[in-house]
Structure 1
Amino acid sequence: MRRRLAMWTASHLMRPLPGPGEVHVWCLFPEDITGEDTALCKIYKELLSPSEKTDIAQCSSNPKMQTQKLLARTLVRTTLARYASGIVAPSSLRFTKNEFGKPNVIWPVKRLDDWRPPSLCFNLTHTQSLLMCAVTQKAEVGIDVEERERKFTRDLMALARRQLSPEEADWLSQFTDPNEQRCQFMQLWTLKEAYVKALGKGISKAPLKEFTFTFDASSPTVLRNLKQAVTIPISLSRAVDNSDDAWQFLLLQPSASHYASICTQILPSSTFEQGSLQLEGWSNHNNLQVQLWRTVPLVRDEELEGAVALALSDPLSS
Structure 2
Amino acid sequence: MRLKEKTIRWIGIPIVAFVSSYFIEGHDLAYSSPLHAYLVSLIYTAVYWNGAVFIFFKLRKVFPHIPQTGKRLILTLLSLTLFISISSVIMKSLLEPNFQQEILSWKDYFQSMPFSFVISLIIGTFYEASYYFQNWKQSFVQNQQLKSEHLRSQFEVLQNQMSPHFLFNSLNTLTTLIAENQEMAIEFTQNLSEVYRYILKQKDRELVSLQEELDFAQSYLSLLEIRYPNSLTVKVEIDEKSKSYFIPPLTLQMLIENAIKHNSLSKMKPLLLEIYSQSSGTLVIKNNLQPKKTLERSTQTGLENIRKRYELLGCDPIDIIQTAHNFMVAVPIIEIKEERESIPSILTA
User: Shorter-normalised TM-score: what interval?
Assistant: under 0.3
Structure exhibiting the larger radius of gyration computed from Cα positions = 2
Q: Which has the higher contact order (CA 8 A, sep 6+)?
A: 1
TM-score, length-scaled by structure 2: 0.22
TM-score, length-scaled by structure 1: 0.23
